Amino acid sequence: MATSIDARATAATPAQLQSVRGALTSPRRLKTEVLGGLVVALALIPEAIAFSIIAGVDPRIGLFASFTMAVTIAFVGGRPAMISAATGAVALVIAPLVKSHGLDYLVAAVILAGIFQIVLGLSGVAKLMRFIPRPVMVGFVNALAILIFLSQVPELIGVPWLVYPLTALGLLIVFGLPRLTKAVPAPLVAIVALTLITVTAAVVVPTVGDKGALPDSLPSLSLPNVPNTFETLQVIFPFALAMAFVGLLESLMTAKLVDDITDTRSAKTREAWGQGVANIVTGIFGGMGGCAMIGQTMINVKASGARTRISTLLAGVFLLILVVALGDIVSLIPMAALVAVMIFVSVATFDWHSIRPATLRALPKSETAVMAATVVVTVATHNLATGVGVGVLVAMVLFARRVAHFVTVERTVTEHDGGQATYRVDGELFFASANDLYTQFEYALDPERVVIDMRDSHLWDTSTIAALDAITEKYRQHGKSVDVVGLNQASALMRERLAGKLGAGN
């Protein structure tokens, strides 16, 4: 019976592979989900501790936040198999608040950020993802891969020399084992193998336990003890708003990446408000908040092959079990094993096709510039929101410059009946092309009657209306009349409503 079920699972569509019920009825798929969750949980521990240090809070705060985020988002999120937990992006945003006002204000800001995310999600902010160009998305992915790799470099500096062969062995396992078998996730094998080696050989190398104390109790309700005043709101508002936007941006872009990897579509609006719910729950339990994690998500989806909410849920459950019940064992895991896993994730995440010489030669230089700008700014600032924002801005500017020159103006002059100059305008007219349009006319040389034929163009904004007014006024100063003909209905209505009301300056 199990064989027949697994045979059907093999033939399942990408969308069907996301079914929780389907995974529960397939031993093979369920094993993949369970092991994926376990590997992610092991990788989350040092990450959560490191992000707690960045935020300036006790490691327990980050670990409990990762548990509550993962478990909550497994139920309310819109992207199956995506991992949400405490993240470096959020830690960087909230660190100044912790330093200036303490933990209670941090928790209040996390809860408020969750409320903001719910409001933004329900108001359709996820739809803005369509305005992020592909080069920005590629730059985002490549920058994340670089940041993941760079975050491992400190673990390889100033350490005992045995760390290097252990890391090399871990890399050999994670890259080589999948070529032999995929029955067990290679990252899990690497973690177990290197732990056994260091324990049995009594090798002294940095371990997870060296990162900080692991909790020995379950998280409890911990509402913030802050004054319910307008002054408190003034303090936490900017941090909560920044956290909400950074968290949503990283989560929605990670969801889009997983969509591409799994050939499925996710509910971005649900993911947006789901992140808000998860942050509120995390704040109520005294956590530091978080969002989707690209590295752990890639471990779960790409390295382990998980596809359902089961792996996300188990990542949180296993994390709690590991740090509370099995903390003494987990603390023995050598950091070299986790470094090898994260380097593997960075290599797997990077879009190597995007930097091949053949690809770069084929791509327009503007798209390469957008991708490079996104990567450079993200890596330089360690801020995904800043990098993506700059990438989108560069893309907009380059697109506007390119489209502005697509407008052509063709002039013809007839001599009968006193003469007439006809200008045929072809292209999309908006703020970037308006000034170019103004310069395309022979104001002094044209005969007394001028016709501007707009049948092959469209007016998009008030800048173009103002440009037409300026052109008409310029001809009037030369004692010549202008007729604008051929406008489509939308353009004609806009001009009828605004002509003469915007000033005649160009």
pLDDT in tens, 422-434: 999 988 888 877 7
Q: Is the pLDDT of residue 504 over 60?
A: no
b/e code 405-418 from CB counts within 10 Å (16+ = b):
eebebeeeeeeeee
For the chain, the farthest-separated pair of C-alpha atoms sits apart, in whole angstroms, at 103
Q: What is the pLDDT of residue 108?
A: 95
b/e code 392-401 from CB counts within 10 Å (16+ = b):
bebbeebeee
**Short-list 246, 286, 316, CA closest to 110:** 286
**Mean pLDDT rounded to a whole number for the chain:** 87
- DSSP-based three-state secondary structure for 303: helix
Token pair, residue 65, equals 């936040």
More confident residue, 460 or 10: 460
Distance separating alpha carbons of residues 159 and 262, to the nearest angstrom? 38
Mean pLDDT confidence for 138-143: 87
Q: What is the pLDDT of residue 194?
A: 94
Q: Which band of pLDDT confidence, cut at 50, 70 and 90, is reported for residue 11?
A: low
Q: Is the pLDDT of residue 104 over 90?
A: yes
Highest mean pLDDT among 97-106, 181-190, 219-228: 97-106
Q: How far is C-alpha 378 from the geometric centre of its chain's CA atoms?
A: 11
Q: What is the pLDDT of residue 23?
A: 93
Q: Is the pLDDT of residue 3 over 60?
A: no
Mean pLDDT confidence for 326-350: 87
More confident residue, 259 or 439: 259
Distance separating alpha carbons of residues 425 and 207, to the nearest angstrom? 69
- Please name every residue paired with 449 in a beta bridge, in sequence order, or none if there are none: 420, 481
- DSSP-based three-state secondary structure for 84: strand
Single pTM value for the model: 0.73
Highest mean pLDDT among 222-236, 335-349, 387-401, 417-431: 222-236
Q: Which band of pLDDT confidence, cut at 50, 70 and 90, is reported for residue 80?
A: very high
Q: What is the pLDDT of residue 1?
A: 44
153 contact partners, CB below 8 Å, separation of at least 6: none
Mean pLDDT confidence for 12-35: 92
393 contact partners, CB below 8 Å, separation of at least 6: none
Q: Is the pLDDT of residue 436 over 80?
A: no
More confident residue, 258 or 405: 258
Q: Is the pLDDT of residue 272 over 60?
A: yes
Q: Is the pLDDT of residue 144 over 50?
A: yes
**Short-list 471, 417, 485, CA closest to 449:** 417
**Short-list 315, 249, 290, CA closest to 114:** 290
Task: Please give the share of the chain, as a percent, with pLDDT higher than 90.
Answer: 44
Highest mean pLDDT among 37-41, 90-94, 461-465: 37-41
Q: Is the pLDDT of residue 5 over 50?
A: no
Per-residue pLDDT tens for 172-202? 999 999 888 877 888 889 999 999 999 999 9
Q: What is the pLDDT of residue 394?
A: 92
Q: What is the pLDDT of residue 57?
A: 85
Q: What is the pLDDT of residue 294?
A: 84
Mean pLDDT confidence for 471-485: 91
Mean pLDDT confidence for 217-239: 89
Q: Which band of pLDDT confidence, cut at 50, 70 and 90, is reported for residue 116?
A: very high
Task: Give the CA radius of gyration of the chain.
Answer: 29
Mean pLDDT confidence for 348-370: 88
Q: Is the pLDDT of residue 231 over 60?
A: yes
Q: What is the pLDDT of residue 502?
A: 65
